Amino acid sequence: MEFGKVGQPSQDPRWRMVNATMRQHGNRSQALIETLHTVQETFGYLDEDALRYVASSLRVPFSRVFGVATFYHFFSLKPQGRHACIVCLGTACYIKGVPKIIAALKERYGVGPGETTPDGELSVLSARCLGACGLAPVAAVDSEIAAKLTPEAAIQRVEEVMSNAVH
């Protein structure tokens, strides 16, 4: 049955933000769109595991969650670029140097938050908090949170995922 409890997909700190959004709304179905926004913002897109977890946590049928995720144009079920770097624009990260990281990404790849390189290799996205403020400044590079970043380390991490990838 669709209401079987689905566990949090991973220990990624971004789930803290997702869980907080659901809690703020009493873990009720009214939280659905807001929660999907948080998943999209912090992970860059909505994958099936996330949709199943949200459905289970809010006790909403998966079919409805999937329907909402596909109905609204601001949700995407696939990553935009082949790789994603989601930089955190939250206060802790901002004051610890995120603007310099954004500038370095822009200089190296020619794209800023919300943009994807013309070859589709990299999307740079931004989030209000990735749930790892104690490790600021952070960015999520593909599936991993990169902590205490410098502009150089951010570029290096992005280069690593782009060169390791099997296309």
Give the footprint of ligand FES on this chain (CB under 6 A): 88, 90-93, 129-133, 136, 138
Q: How far is the CB of 94 from ligand FES (least distance, A)?
A: 7
Of the two residues 66 and 94, which places its CB atom closer to ligand FES in the complex?
94
Listed in sequence order, the residues at least 6 apart from 57 whose beta carbon sits closer than 8 Å to its beta carbon are 6, 19, 22, 27
Q: Which one-letter DSSP state was computed for residue 74?
A: T
Of the two residues 13 and 81, which places its CB atom closer to ligand FES in the complex?
13
Q: How far is the CB of 63 from ligand FES (least distance, A)?
A: 33
Q: Which residue is nearest to ligand FES (CB)?
A: 90
Identify the CA nearest to 134 among candidates 7, 16, 8, 6.
16
Q: How far is the CB of 142 from ligand FES (least distance, A)?
A: 17
Of the two residues 65 and 146, which places its CB atom closer to ligand FES in the complex?
146
Q: How far is the CB of 137 from ligand FES (least distance, A)?
A: 7
Q: In what order do the strands lie in the sheet with 115-116?
A: 115-116, 122-127, 83-88, 139-141, 144-146
